A and B are shown apart, each in its own frame.
Chain A
Amino acid sequence: MAWRIPAALKTTAFRLSALYLLLFAACAVMLVLYMTAMSARLLNDQTQEAITAEASDLGRAYSRGGLPLLVRMVASRSRQPGANLYLIADSQGRILSGNVESLEPGVFDVDGWTQRPFSYKRFGEGSPQVEGEREGTLTEVDRNSDGHKALALVLRLPNQMILLVGRDLGEPERFRSAIRQALVISLGTMAFGGLLIWFFVGRRALKRIDSVSAASKRIMGGDLTGRLPVSGAGDEFDRLSENLNVMLSRIGELNDGLKEVSDNIAHDLKTPLTRLRNRAEAALTGKPKAAEYRQALEATISESDQLIRTFNAILMISRLEAGYSAEQVEPVDLAEAVADVAELYDPVAEEAGVALTSRVQSGCSIKGNRELVAQALSNIVDNAIKYSAGSSEAPKVEISLAQEKGDCVIRVRDNGPGIAEEADRHRVTERFVRLEKSRSQPGSGLGLSLAKAVMKFHGGKLDVLSANPGLLVVMTFHGQRDSE
């Protein structure tokens, strides 16, 4: 099996994996975006709160100790690690103190919150803290000049002094970029995982389907004995294959049946046709008398009648086996049907010196076709009378109808020679099978196969058993199912 990409892309497995992947990715992105936005807002709020607190702190210091205290406090605070932005300016905007180096113009024009890039000095967070720090020990770690923004609060103090307290927004920015990175990594992992799963699952499914396709191609090629592979996993592929295999078996059976019929037709219709032709030909040769012509013609007619009979029986069997139309299905009283057939054959049996008895239990009713049941039963009874007539002891045929476990069972038992071999007993219900011993008896060899087809049509079965001595034919009609 070639593992080709275009074919792989066309598989349902791939399409489904791709769809799931896209959906999950979209959900993940949405979730992360939402979380980022929420945390950024939270951080912002916190920053604002901190700034406000700081500013009001400084404002109080100014009103308590005036400018010198404020300047001192700002100077000390701005030297702390991770410090905020501090600035004190006079009314003209000249910077008096603080860690902000330069300002964009117009910062002090508006009171309140402002957000813009600032340039300021900042001291390392991890640097050793020394009591009573001096100017000289201060190391400038972060000179913010790459334009990250800071959030600042501009406050006007009494005396036209301006106080600015702010905080670098670099931290939330870093937070955001960390989340972004996490998102990219997780999405990447997800895509990779999805591809991996699709590769294995999809390839496995594709492999199974390809093997089924290959098997079905072989079968279509004419190998009707071939079957689809079943892995034994019991999954949906197996179930599908098993069902298709049952279907294939049924098709095979029907095909065999068809072949058998055509073989049989070839043999059992061609033979009498040849006889017919020979007879007509023989009548034409020489100079026969009128009476001889007549005799030949009569023989021809009776031969063709037999042919028609055989032909009708074949047609009927195949129609029954193909599933007869249900239009002629009605309630049939089996007791009545059996009694009628027994009565029909009574004089025949008497003439043949066979004692025909029937024991009928009433109350057996089935859904079916009265004529078909009668025809099947009369074929069986006809056989029984024919064969028991050759019996050494007093020949007899017993017909019985009984209800057994919800099934209606008709038994026809004779005391004729019977059929010793079980395989032969099984074989007599096949079309045209006439056992060697019975070749001398008239008949088409279709009687029992017709009976079998009739039983199959009624959802029942026909069994040919040994009655020791003699033959026992059992017609079983399964319990009254109204659905039939």
Chain B
Amino acid sequence: MKILVIEDDKEAADYLKKALGEAGHNAHVAGDGDTGFAMADGGDYDVLIVDRMLPHRNGLTLIADLRAKENVTPVLILSALGEVDDRVTGLRAGGDDYLTKPYAFTELLARIEVLSRRSAAKEVETVYRVGDLELDRLSHSAKRAGKEIVLQPREFRLLEYLMRHSGQVVTRTMLLENVWDYHFDPQTNVIDVHVSRLRGKIEKGFEKPLLHTVRGSGYMLKAG
């Protein structure tokens, strides 16, 4: 995956470049807003990682300028500002996701992978399939190997999200944001308990595990 990191803190940018390289991605770095805009506009990047506060051109302006030129490359905004308002303005400016500093690299990695592979086709599909697990978005029902699984509404949304991003790591924060629409950090790991309850429902009585825990990151739904 070709990634552009627009970040003025050289140490942070170099760290990101190195870590993304180790994760198998090809990352470039731009040190200010204007260079970043020129590179993002010209290069064919899969994902942009944009810091909010940049010299020459502010991160939000940069995104708005790109969107004005009909560049739809997914953007992950990085910011030290984590208030609800800041996130809303960031997303309104055209960002696709928002991550507050300091962040865990695994969180960032999971988010950019989800961003880059986000496809319009997945959004309109009515039936998701992972292995022998099947989820019908229209009839709100789930089956495994033809056997009905009874799910609570929230469990359904949780499974739906996991299946939409099957084969990708989804973090606890991503689940909390996308399934519950909460952006705060609950004191207890409530998400783990919800996931393990769901796991019980979709795996109990079946041999092959589907919902895997990725150590230090989150969860991944995949067949085999």
Q: Report how far A345 CA is from B190 CA in the complex, Å.
A: 7
Inter-subunit contact B85/A382 (CB<8 Å): no
Tell me the residues in window 431-484 of chain A with beta carbons closer than 8 Å to chain B beta carbons. 442-444, 447
Inter-subunit contact B154/A343 (CB<8 Å): yes
Name the residue of chain B whose CB is nearest to the CB of A340: B180
Q: Report how far A378 CA is from B196 CA in the complex, Å.
A: 20
Inter-subunit contact A379/B88 (CB<8 Å): no
Inter-subunit contact A375/B84 (CB<8 Å): no
- Contact (A309, B185) CB under 8 Å given A328-B88, A347-B194: yes
B102 located at the interface, meaning its Cβ lies under 8 Å from any Cβ of chain A in the complex = yes
B70 located at the interface, meaning its Cβ lies under 8 Å from any Cβ of chain A in the complex = no
Name the residue of chain A whose CB is nearest to the CB of B103: A308
The secondary-structure label for the interface of chain A is helix
B182 located at the interface, meaning its Cβ lies under 8 Å from any Cβ of chain A in the complex = yes
B169 to chain A, nearest CB (A): 17
Which residue among A301, A374, A386 has the maximum number of chain B CB atoms within 10 Å of its CB?
Answer: A374
Inter-subunit contact A374/B193 (CB<8 Å): no
Residues of A within 8 A of B186 (CB): 344, 378, 382
Of A309, A340, A348, A369, the residue contacting B188 (CB under 8 A) is A348
Inter-subunit contact A371/B190 (CB<8 Å): no
**Residue interface bits B79-117, CB-to-A below 8 A is 1, else 0:** 000111100100000000000001010000000000000
Inter-subunit contact A328/B182 (CB<8 Å): no
Inter-subunit contact B193/A328 (CB<8 Å): no
Residues of B within 8 A of A378 (CB): 184, 186-187
- Contact (A374, B184) CB under 8 Å given A325-B85, A348-B190: yes
Name the residue of chain B whose CB is nearest to the CB of A347: B193
Residues of B within 8 A of A443 (CB): 187
Inter-subunit contact A344/B180 (CB<8 Å): yes
Tell me the residues in window 340-358 of chain A with beta carbons closer than 8 Å to chain B beta carbons. 340, 343-345, 347-348, 351
Inter-subunit contact A328/B85 (CB<8 Å): yes
Interface size on A, residues (CB 8 A): 32
**Residue interface bits A303-325, CB-to-B below 8 A is 1, else 0:** 01100110010001001000001
B190 to chain A, nearest CB (A): 5
A327 located at the interface, meaning its Cβ lies under 8 Å from any Cβ of chain B in the complex = yes
Of A308, A325, A351, the residue contacting B193 (CB under 8 A) is A351
Q: Report how far A78 CA is from B96 CA in the complex, Å.
A: 123
Name the residue of chain B whose CB is nearest to the CB of A301: B104
Q: Report how far A325 CA is from B102 CA in the complex, Å.
A: 23
Residues of A within 8 A of B10 (CB): none
Q: Report how far A1 CA is from B27 CA in the complex, Å.
A: 76
Q: Report how far A340 CA is from B193 CA in the complex, Å.
A: 15
A355 to chain B, nearest CB (A): 16
**Residue interface bits A322-342, CB-to-B below 8 A is 1, else 0:** 000101100000000000100
Q: Report how far A372 CA is from B182 CA in the complex, Å.
A: 9
Interface size on B, residues (CB 8 A): 21
Residues of B within 8 A of A385 (CB): 188
- Contact (A369, B187) CB under 8 Å given A343-B154, A347-B193: no
Tell me the residues in window 357-408 of chain A with beta carbons closer than 8 Å to chain B beta carbons. 369, 371-372, 374-375, 378-379, 382, 385-386
Q: Report how far A378 CA is from B187 CA in the complex, Å.
A: 8
B197 located at the interface, meaning its Cβ lies under 8 Å from any Cβ of chain A in the complex = yes
Tell me the residues in window 153-193 of chain B with beta carbons closer than 8 Å to chain A beta carbons. 154, 180, 182-188, 190, 193
Name the residue of chain B whose CB is nearest to the CB of A312: B82
- Contact (A371, B183) CB under 8 Å given A312-B82, A328-B84, A328-B88: yes
Residues of A within 8 A of B85 (CB): 325, 327-328
Residues of A within 8 A of B183 (CB): 371
Name the residue of chain A whose CB is nearest to the CB of B153: A343
Inter-subunit contact B84/A369 (CB<8 Å): yes
Residues of B within 8 A of A442 (CB): 187
B120 to chain A, nearest CB (A): 29
Q: Report how far A305 CA is from B172 CA in the complex, Å.
A: 14
A442 to chain B, nearest CB (A): 8
Q: Report how far A152 CA is from B184 CA in the complex, Å.
A: 111
Name the residue of chain B whose CB is nearest to the CB of A369: B84
Q: Report how far A444 CA is from B186 CA in the complex, Å.
A: 12
A278 to chain B, nearest CB (A): 21
Residues of A within 8 A of B194 (CB): 344, 347
Which residue among A328, A343, A344, A382 has the maximum number of chain B CB atoms within 10 Å of its CB?
Answer: A344
A444 to chain B, nearest CB (A): 8
Residues of B within 8 A of A374 (CB): 182, 184
Residues of B within 8 A of A344 (CB): 180, 182, 186, 190, 194
Q: Report how far A375 CA is from B154 CA in the complex, Å.
A: 18
Residues of A within 8 A of B184 (CB): 371, 374-375, 378
Q: Report how far A351 CA is from B188 CA in the complex, Å.
A: 12
Q: Report how far A319 CA is from B194 CA in the complex, Å.
A: 31
B156 to chain A, nearest CB (A): 13
Q: Report how far A133 CA is from B110 CA in the complex, Å.
A: 142
- Contact (A371, B182) CB under 8 Å given A319-B83, A325-B85: yes
Residues of A within 8 A of B196 (CB): 347
**Residue interface bits A39-56, CB-to-B below 8 A is 1, else 0:** 000000000000000000
Q: Report how far A447 CA is from B182 CA in the complex, Å.
A: 16
Tell me the residues in window 115-153 of chain B with beta carbons closer than 8 Å to chain A beta carbons. none
Inter-subunit contact A308/B102 (CB<8 Å): yes
Q: Report how far A41 CA is from B56 CA in the complex, Å.
A: 90
Closest 4 CB pairs of A and B: A347-B193, A375-B184, A382-B187, A347-B197
Known: A344-B182, A374-B184; 4 extra A-B contacts, CB below 8 A, are A351-B193, A378-B184, A379-B187, A382-B187
The chain B residues found within 8 Å of chain A, CB to CB, are: 82-85, 88, 102, 104, 154, 180, 182-188, 190, 193-194, 196-197
- 5 residue pairs of the A-B complex, CB under 8 angstroms, read A344-B186, A348-B188, A378-B184, A442-B187, A443-B187
